[in-house]
Structure 1
Amino acid sequence: MKKDPPVRFADVADYLARHRSQLTRHWLRAVGQRMHIRPVSRDATVRLINQLPQLFDELCALLRDAGPTDIAVRAQHDARVHATERWRQGFALDELYLELHLLHQCVQTCARDYYTLAPSPDSQTATRDTIEQFFSDVIHGAIVQWHAQHDRRVSEAFAERDLALAAQARSDARLRIAAAAAGLGIFEWDPETDAAVWENDRMYEITGQPRERGALSAREFVELVVDPGDRESLRNALNAAITSSEDFHATFRIRTVQTGTPNVLEVSGRFLPDASGSRRVLVGTMADVTNRVSAEEALRQADRRKDVFLATLAHELRNPLAPILNAAHLLRQTDRSHDQLDWLQGLVERHATHLSHLIDDLLDLSRITAGKITLRMEVFSIWSAIDRAIEINAPAAAQHAHRLEVVDSRTDPLFVRGDSTRVTQVLANLLDNAIKYTDEGGHIRLSAARDDPYVTIAVEDNGIGMDPAAIPSLFEIFEQAPTALESTRTGLGIGLSVARALIAMHGGAVSASSDGPGKGSRFVVRLPLCDAPTRASQSSDADRAATAASRRVLIVDDNHDAALSLAMILDQHEVRTANSGEVALAIAQKFNPDVVLLDLGLPDMSGYEVAKRLREFAAPSRPVLIALTGYGQPEDRRRTREAGFDYHLVKPARPEDVVSLLATAF
């Protein structure tokens, strides 16, 4: 059982309780005079006044009715609570100790005041010792709590540091993975010492520096790797970045260390504090951008070629327009002789044909680029294509007094499988180039020979020749031999590109050679040979077309001149013209045409709609429908066929083709 403390202790406790407010004021005054860190607000002061009396109450309980062991435990608990709260407010251990020490002094002073007035001071020493022991326990408990709090904070700091290091390691790993995926080298360079650290193998791969030799300093890198033409600009850029501490970025040429391979590098970096924080180092990435720079240069070259092409196209289109306009002016004069009229007719036809060829080349280029060329495959003798190509170009060769020699070895038929029209187009294009780039009276030679498993067709001339270095680019789109724009030998620069693509579609190849300017040129086409056909090809309808009987023909075209001129060509037939869909339908109801030549692009409705309505009311038999359009791709022909058209002609249609079609359509 617990023993009751002496009554004199209870009297001391009552005295202390009665003077609690005065004691607290003395203590707060002492704290305010001695403490360096004070409560930062009124709320903090209130919390301090409300908290420390907990210790005061424990002391009074000790003096009244509790055992010493219980009092010590409770005092230590309250001390820990007090210490935690004060540390939360920013107090340190020495300040907490001073705070408790001042409270201890105030309590002892108040106890002495009691014994000054007490009738029996015999217990003063015991009271003082009890108070001393109480505050000793309190301070010991606060110190224990401080150590526990300090250890916890250290542990938390270490845990936070470990988390931060782990996060940094993950971030570094992600950076390295991203750099490896992007092909980036990572480096660090110290401007003060010129020392460099290469963080990954990619730096060695980009520069060609053997890994066993280690990283190059900036000075070594500039002197050993950077192209001499870029060294000075790179040094200036580095010095400017060091002076301004701004982000560094440079693109420059190099020669790799061991092989001397030319490459283009791009470096980006930022100045950051080093590990010690005492100075700044450049941390950056290095990338091999050779392919990108080459692609950009190729795009710039293509853009320049495109500009030249557009200028040349305008030139080529205007050239045939001038004689056509002149011929139109001369035809208005009625006193022209028959020979003059024949000459004017030939002039207009030649230049109109030239314009048509230009448009065909442009359309072929578009179709090849889009992959929409369809070949009509058949087995034919290469000599038939050669004959047609010569027939096409013979007038131009004669005009320039060229001697056109054909090495004829027709004892060997040389069959190939392909689109005879397209092969003829290629050979005619090569002959046209030979004529264009050979001076008056020159010599052009065409030959064909077996070179199993190929047939080789060669077109040679003694014309202006070519620079051998420029030959590889001649087959690129929009590329042509350099000539003055005003020269009559200019072209669109797409003929050879179209020829190469068409022959490649046949499984062959086109090549060119020349001994140099002024020494002529030689173009060679190689096509795979095949076996002869099992039976002779039948003659085409066009070859055996008979003279057509007179037909009722309706021409529908919103181009008034085109409609009337075609009507004059078909004057052996009974012809009506219309410039819109509604007018055409009205004429058809009364005229009942046998044939309708129908433009698809009319101002009021499409040619497809006109064709549909013609099929609905025409009786007793519907007319033959022939589409006239500037669109001639396979999908365009399929659409007209599905719309009910019987034939599809691409503008400008040759008059003889229209006449032949009318003769064979019935």
Structure 2
Amino acid sequence: MTNRRPYSIPDNEALRLEKLREYQILDTHSEDTFDKIALLAAQIFNVPSAFINFVDAQRVFIKSSIGYDEPISEVPREESLCSRTILKDVVNTYADTHNHPELMENPHVLANGGIRFYASAPLKTPEGLIMGTICVVDYKPREATEAQLTMLKTLSSIIIDKLENRLRYRKSVESQVNLMNIALHEIKNPLASIKLANEIISKSPPSAERMTENIKSAVVRIQAKLADLLKQSELEEKDMMLNVEEVDLNEMFARLLYNFELLAQRKDQKIEFYCDDTLPVLEADRTKISDVLHNLLSNAIKYSYPGTIIKLSAREAGNYVHIEVKDEGQGLNFSDMQKLFTKFAKLSSKPTGKETSNGLGLSITKSFVELHNGNIYAMSPGKDKGTTFIVSIPFKHKRAPELEEISEFN
């Protein structure tokens, strides 16, 4: 009996595993976002099964599985075909696994009704490290087209974009916590000086003049420390860069409708969208604007009642595009409006389909809108009367005046 591994280890394995742990994706629960990406992969290839996998040191964690009868969260690394895919930055495909002798010892290939067709795209980070794969499986031989393989690679990049966005935001939150801790530490001593000086003044009035100077000095020190920390925080916020390109809102709306259609159908909800065809070109960060709309539409579905209508629309208003997400859900009260865009805010509305919420979505949304020099606000007539979120993003280039036309819609 030998200890030979039936899979090879990438040369950058240590760095790869370090990055994988940074993402904090291992052993997490299933998420609708990843499930929808896996479902889309299965539909593109017209196959029964699709998976999103992350390759750990000794195992492969299955983040999402479509078409698998029994829920399974991991398999040994030596049993996963994904262990081969992470060795090279290419889309890997087997039209018929039985034509590849090196696969014939794999239990998932050998099993009765086992894997015959397999195609996977590596999940590659911006640093070039491969975290795992998105793969599709069929239990009979078949051929994949170049277009299908290209779309699979595109889905892999979307997964990594999601993970990178989460990582950036988590680091931002951690940075703010660190700044708060520094602030508490830095002002502790000046506050102690102020407290002591006040006690001395109360016990010895003649010392008031000298102690007053000590208090003034301590206050100046606190103000200087807080100013430095605020400046540092502002610099960190400005470090978030925009990847500006032309954005077709009609196309983005159609993609959102497709992505959320199944989720809305579960609650017997209907999504209607309208985008003025005469809108000027919006130059913005496509990913961040998509995340903004994704968060708002996801919240509209999450907090609206079954059988209601959600409206997504966009129109030109002066030098801005106004995007509205309107629902017939639980609405907002005065207290909700006061803390709506703060981190970890607890609002009165509750998910109507047992969905979960981390309290960060609207805070992230606001930061992304403001990075575009835009604004976001909400309107609600009151509880159980629905909510409308309005996002205003400035156009960089306007059309010629004779072509301008402001569209009206409900």
TM over 0.5: no
**Is the helix fraction higher in 1 or 2?**
1
Q: What is the TM-score of this pair, normalised by structure 2?
A: 0.43
Compare relative contact order (CA 8 Å, sep 6+) and give the higher one, 1 or 2: 2
Q: What is the TM-score of this pair, normalised by structure 1?
A: 0.27
Higher-Rg member (1/2): 1
